[in-house]
Structures are given as C-alpha cells and as structure tokens.
Amino acid sequence: MTGGAAIGGAATPAGPGLRRELGLLDSLMINIGTILGSAIFIVPAAILLQTGTPFMSAMVWALAGFLSWAGAATIAELAVLYPEAGGQYVYLEKVYSRFWGFLYGWTLFAVIQTASIAAVAVAFVTYVGFFIPMSPVMVKVGAIALIMGLSIWNCLSVRTSANTQNSTTILKLLMVGLIAAACFAYGGEGSAAFKQLLPADGSTLTLAGFAAAMVAALWAYDGWISITFVGGEVKSPAGSMPKALSRSVSILVIVYILVNFAYVHALPYADMVASERVAADAVERVLGHAGGGLASLAVAISCFGTVNGFIFTGARVYYAMAKDGVFFPWAARLGEKTKVPANSLIIQGVWASLLTLTGSYDQLFTYVIFDSWLFYAMGALGVIILRRRQPDLPRPCKAPGYPWVPLIFVILAGALLLQTLISDTRDALFGVGIMLAGLPAYAYWTRAGRAKSAA
C-alpha cells in the first residue's frame, strides 16, 4: 500500500513518493470545502416543505449532521490506523478484502466522484451565467474548461492544491455569512413561521416526508470523508485527521441551521417552499436585484472550491488502486519533482468531462447514493470488526462512544439503505449495477497482476 505510515502523533514519513505537507488547517479546509457545495443554496426549501416548520426543519439538519458526525468520528479511527492515500478504499481492503476496496474505488471513479465533479462544475458555470449570459452549449464547454483547468492546476504541487482549497473555503464561508447577515438584518417577512413548532396540518409531517428530508440534508453533508483520500499527505495524521473529520461536520451543522433560519426570516413560508433557488430568492427579497448577484457569486465561489476539492482528493484513490494493481498502472506514476499523481488527476478530469457532455451526471449520481451509504456503513462496521479481530492493535485515536456511536451510525445507515431500496428500488438496483460493472475490470487487473508476478 501507499505511504507506509506509522500511527503515532508525530509527523509521519510518506514513504516513497508522496510528501506529507498538509497541516490541520489544510485538512479542515479540505473537508469543509468539499462538503459546503451548492446544496445549502437549494435544498432548504424542499426540506421545509417536507417537514412543515422551521423547528422541524432544524431537527432534520441537526439529525443529519449528527449522523454524518457519527460516521466521520468513527472513520477517524481507521484514518489514523491507516493514514495512506486512498482513504475508504484502503479501509475496506484492510478490513474485508481487496475486492471490496476495488468496488468502492471503481464506483468512486465511475460515478460518485466524477459525476459530482461534473454536476458542480455545471452549477458553477450556470451561476456565472447570471453575470455573463450563456447558451447550453457554452455552459458545457465552460464546465469542461473548469474541470480540465483545475485538474492541470492540481498537478503543480500539493501546496498549490491546498492553498487553492484554503482560500476558496474561507471565501465561501464569508459569503455564506454575508448572505445570512443580510437576511437577518433586512428581512423579516417570514418571521411569523418561527412561532409554530409543529405543522398545523398533522398530515404534513409524515415518515416518508421526514425520510426524504433526511436524504436531502445528508446530501448537503456528504463529502465528510474527503480528507481521508489524501491521508498519505497529511503531516500528523493522528493529530489532524480526527479533528478535521469531526470539526468540519460540527462547524457545518451550525452554519446550515443558521443559514436555514436566515432564509425563513427573509421569505414568507409559501414563497420559500415554492422556491427552486432559495438563497437567491431570499437575498433578492431583502437587497433587490443586487442580492441576486450576491447570491449567484456566493454559489459560484462555493461550487468552484468544491470542484477543486473533489479533483484534489479523488485522484489519490485511483493512485492507491493503481499502486495495488487494480487500476491503470500509469495512474500510479508521480511527477518527478511535484510528487503529485498527475496521471490520476488527468484521467479523472477526462472522465468527468465526458460525463458533463452526456448530461446524465445528475441521474447517475442518484443511482449511486445507495452505493455510497453501503460503503459508509461497511467502513463504520469495519471499526467494530477490527476491534474484535485485532483488539491489541495500537489505536492512538478511538471512535468516541464506542461501540454505541459506530453502532448508531451503522443502524441508521442501514435504515436509510432499506428505505432507499423500498422507495427507490429502480435507482438502488441501477446503483448496484454500476458498482458490479467493474467486475470485468477487476478480473482483468488481478489476472494481469498474477501473470506479472509469475513472470
């Protein structure tokens, strides 16, 4: 495996190739920057519609945040045990087998990471269109230019990638704070909604509606595992990784609830639940046309940083797979001076660009939500399995509240999987199909590896 790392608190050598250059601030900004994308500017309206009141909406955001935190805090134990490039790919391989690690990495490359890059890149160009009108063809061309431009930019050095992520994450947090401040300072039309804890119509709050709201909120928190992908480049994994994983989610729980209350304060309930771009509508309500520009700029900056984070982190997974012989061998090559997996970055960018051209990235992403949570559940369960299998293994970082926090995450993730399988059977099965489509590639690469070893 990559990065042969010790698990103490001191700076850990990266082994041949990778350089450990990322500190705690870098790690935290990577996670916050990849989590905080476009969702918080869009999904709050749907969540309020499905829950009925700001209080119940906040409960969904808090519960989804707790579930995401439980997953992040649990996975932190594995992140310190195996602080290597690849993150979840490595953990599944160590706990289960290379086959399960490959399925995760394959699905990440085929859809999860690349479709996310495509979707957020298109969102970026779409919001830039507020200032520069563009045709649908121009939007796609602009999205591909962004993807490939940032892929090449990330080939320069780890420090270049991290600095870009740090600056865009800080800027997007400032922009979100500015939007919330404007809504609270100049809004007030929706303030009456805060007086009601539960919906007046009991039929509004249903289990199916609450579950749908949870799925939307969990999407907004997704990305909390990103820092583990670059575990082979973090200076002090035992010190930085657990803090980055848990603090990023904790910070965003507060940010998300605050921003949701800001939207509600600015917009009457009926207008908010009908909104398809709630951030823009809220700021336009309080600041006029200039508010629409502010919101569009905030979303564009947020999407830009998220695309950079996805590109930066995802490439390390394919690099780790290639080092293990279950991906294109040339993806394991590092730049001679930069020590960056440039080939992995470029192939990821090319595939994400092709998905952009198909226009099917949004649908593809819905297919693999089931796969994502299956792997999250397996990773958290892996902590419990390793505790039983190797109880004496040194663990500088332990999952908090063990075994209850990991168990809660596994059980709730399992419930989400079951609910998705029942309510969206077709999409779930399509997701499984995409995952299993990697089997021929796995057979080819493992057979090629055995032939090479025999020779």
Instruction: Check residue 16 and give its pLDDT.
Output: 59
| Domain spans of the chain, in order of start | 24-392+402-447
The pLDDT of residue 75 is 97
Confidence at residue 70, expressed as pLDDT on a 0 to 100 scale:
96
User: What are the start-end ranges of the H helices in 324-455?
Assistant: 342-358, 361-389, 404-423, 425-436, 439-454
pLDDT score for 184: 95
What does each C-alpha distance from 387 to 80, 226, 419 come to in angstroms? 14, 24, 29
Element (H, E) at 155: none
Global confidence as pTM: 0.92
Q: Specify the residue for token string 């984070």.
A: 309
**What is the predicted pLDDT for the residue at 13?**
41
DSSP letters along 252-304, please? HHHHHHHHHHHHHHHS-HHHHHT-SSHHHHHHHHHHTHHHHHHHHHHHHHHHH
Percentage helix, strand, coil for the chain under 3-state DSSP, each rounded to 5: 75, 0, 25
Q: CA-CA distances (angstroms) from residue 439 to 94, 104, 335?
A: 19, 12, 30
Q: pLDDT tens track of the chain, all 455 residues?
A: 343 333 333 334 444 579 999 999 999 999 999 999 888 998 999 999 999 899 999 999 999 999 999 999 999 999 999 999 999 999 999 999 999 999 999 999 999 999 999 999 999 999 999 899 999 999 999 999 999 999 999 999 999 999 999 999 999 999 999 999 999 999 999 988 888 888 876 656 677 778 888 888 998 999 999 999 999 999 999 999 999 999 999 999 999 999 999 999 999 999 999 988 899 999 999 999 888 899 999 999 999 999 999 999 999 999 999 999 999 999 999 999 999 999 999 999 999 999 999 877 667 777 778 899 999 999 999 999 999 999 999 999 999 999 999 999 999 999 888 888 888 888 889 889 999 999 999 999 999 888 777 76
Domain 24-392+402-447 sits in CATH 1.20.1740.10? yes
Which pLDDT score is estimated for 445? 95
Residue-by-residue DSSP string for 387-412: HHH-TTS--SS--TTTTHHHHHHHHH
